[in-house]
A and B are shown apart, each in its own frame.
Chain A
Amino acid sequence: MQIFGRKIKLSTIALYALIIVITIIMLLPFAWMLSASLKFNREVFEFPIHWIPENPRWSNYVQIWTKIPLGLFVFNTAKITIMVTLLQLFTSSFAAYAFAKLKFPYRDVLFLGYIATIAMPWQVYMVPQFILMREFGLYNTHWALIALQAFTAFGVFLMKQFYMSIPDELCEAARVDGMNEYQIWWKIMLPLSKPALSTLTIFTFVFAWNDFLGPMIYLTQTDLKTIQIGLRMFISQYSAEYGLIMAASVVAIIPVLAVFLALQRFFVEGVANAGLKG
């Protein structure tokens, strides 16, 4: 077949057609969400679907902020997510440095302890964890969720895998130059591990932002709730106001979309690396 004066094989056209159809299936729910967020209720289920509403109802995006304390929910979620991500990045890379580059007694046993919990479903210990948090007085505080997510075996494992690929000679040379271990971690390892740190950032950010079961168990006060719980509440409260629900859903997805698009390349590499070595 001739397209723009170039010969294109029929199989190539079929390949693109297939890929585009699959992409549409994957993205259709989001397109529908965006479209419905600008509609009146009666328009939402109109068939055939009007993808671009005739009179886009931007006021849906204004109303959601006053119908529920959406701003507060976004703030709460951002606070938890940022705290979790920062703690995770610091403690994981710090611990991973010792596991990868230092010799000390019980190193392998300790690391095995970490690895063993990776395959352990969280749901196996969520009840005892809940009781413990309650005993610590952390029920109905954001600290419970931060403590729950900031110290993961996965983070240590991911960073350690990356540090193992950095040659030991680099650390040796730094030691000869009179650097102490903390300086080596700060001045050499951290700057070199940007791809691993990016991967861990996205993973942690995405999971903390989207977490549903954790906040549902730990937060019962409205003013403490996160956006996912708020969204869920909003759905049951205004179950017939589809346009509003979709607008709130779009708002809940935007931060993740932004982080994902900004660091996407690292994410894909990170998943591939962490995945295969797991």
Chain B
Amino acid sequence: MAATGLGLATGQKRKKRRVLTKSQQKRRASLVAFSFIAPNFLGFAVFTLGPIIFAFALAFMHWDGSNPIEFAGLANFFELFRDKAFQAAFWNTIIYTVFSVPLTMACSLGLAMLLNKKIFGRDFFRAAMFFPYVASLVAAAVVWNMLFNPEMGPVNMILYTMGVDPKNLPGWAADKDWAMVTIILFGIWKQAGYFMVIYLAGLQGVNRELYEAADLDGANAWQKFWNVTLPQLAPTTFFVSVMLTINSFKVFDQVYMITQGGPGTSTLVLVYHIYNEAFISWDLGYSSMVALVLFVLVLAVTLIQFRYSRSLD
């Protein structure tokens, strides 16, 4: 009996599957699809999407993280205009971006042009350029601090032996006029290899025939670069500039490691201010308002650059 019962059951199941309607099939397919997405989406929704929405709400609240939340309206927004440290952080972030983005782009494009040629040991050189990007920032920053130590660092020693007057030797991270320069140089060194790889990929897509045509017209290397390579690389350059700008708005780790925002407020940047307001002052509403400013900046740049890129096509 048991055996027949079992046989009957599986028989029924088979029959059932055969008579699934179209909409049932669709529902089953959707369930399967959702089961694929669920493990990632649940984590993503809880730990990323949720906090993003919470962040936007917090910008209009007063909260120290433990006492009850109070509605603040636009108070945090008006606070931005009174907060001297925020203004310094805002302009420092802009200065960092204005200098580091074009310089890093030029360096990575230069590296890509050099290492796109068929040369001996090309893979080694490419890996070498890339390595600063994957190396631990803490470790790299420590060495950087030692190399650029104003009193006994090898960099100033070399400048000294080259004949620079000891009084004119740069104070690097310790000098408020040089601190930002130090941060920018460090950023270029760290990131150039990564964007070189993206430019190398872009160079693969340049139309070879255009070079042949340029050769026929008797163009020199510089003319070929200016009239063929650069225009053909426009989409890559667009992508690189967006990524670099976003990265530079988000700069934090290297500032924390090399200058701690100082001397004074000379290298205080937006994320550093967010970090201070949140985890040092526990002014969570206000820190979220500064974060909102950062977000609007990133959004604005992305939109402007997308507009611009569309006009390129």
A residues whose Cβ falls under 8 Å from a Cβ of B: 15-16, 18-19, 22-23, 25-30, 32-33, 36, 44-45, 47, 49, 90-92, 94-95, 97-99, 102-105, 107, 110, 113-114, 117, 119-132, 147-148, 150-153, 155-156, 180-181, 185, 202, 206, 209-210, 212-213, 217, 227-228, 231-232, 235, 242, 245-246, 249-250, 252-253, 256-257, 260-261, 264, 267-268, 271-273, 275-276, 278
User: Would A32 and B143 count as touching, CB distance under 8 A?
Assistant: yes
B157 CB to nearest A CB, Å? 4
B51 CB to nearest A CB, Å? 4
B202 surroundings in chain A (CB, below 8 A)? 276
User: Would B193 and A29 count as touching, CB distance under 8 A?
Assistant: no
B77 CB to nearest A CB, Å? 16
B242 CB to nearest A CB, Å? 8
- Which of B83-91, B212-220, B289-297 is the interface stretch? B289-297
Q: How far is the CA of A100 from the CA of B204 in the complex (A)?
A: 26
User: Would B284 and A121 count as touching, CB distance under 8 A?
Assistant: no
- The chain B residue with its CB closest to the CB of A113 is B49
Q: How far is the CA of A180 from the CA of B298 in the complex (A)?
A: 43
Identify whether the interface residues of A are mostly helix, strand, loop, or mixed.
helix
Which of B44, B200, B249, B294 has the most C-beta atoms of chain A within 10 angstroms of its own C-beta? B44
Q: How far is the CA of A275 from the CA of B278 in the complex (A)?
A: 32
B268 CB to nearest A CB, Å? 14
The 9 closest A-B pairs by CB, nearest first: A151-B43, A272-B201, A249-B139, A98-B36, A128-B54, A91-B40, A104-B33, A95-B40, A129-B51
User: Would A104 and B29 count as touching, CB distance under 8 A?
Assistant: yes
User: Would B115 and A19 count as touching, CB distance under 8 A?
Assistant: yes
A158 CB to nearest B CB, Å? 12
Interface flag for B210 (CB, 8 Å) = no
Partner pick for B146 among A36, A113, A121, A261, CB 8 A cutoff: A36
Interface flag for B287 (CB, 8 Å) = yes
A227 CB to nearest B CB, Å? 8
Given A15-B117, A94-B40, A128-B288, A104 and B34 contact (CB-CB distance below 8 Å): yes
A-B contact number at CB 8 A: 267
A16 surroundings in chain B (CB, below 8 A)? 119
- The chain B residue with its CB closest to the CB of A251 is B139
- CB-CB contacts below 8 Å: B174-195 with A: 189, 193-194
User: Would A271 and B30 count as touching, CB distance under 8 A?
Assistant: no
- CB-CB contacts below 8 Å: B120-145 with A: 125-132, 134-140, 142-144
User: Would B114 and A15 count as touching, CB distance under 8 A?
Assistant: yes
- The chain B residue with its CB closest to the CB of A150 is B43
Interface flag for B224 (CB, 8 Å) = no
- Which of B7-15, B16-24, B147-155, B163-171 is the interface stretch? B147-155
A27 surroundings in chain B (CB, below 8 A)? 128, 131
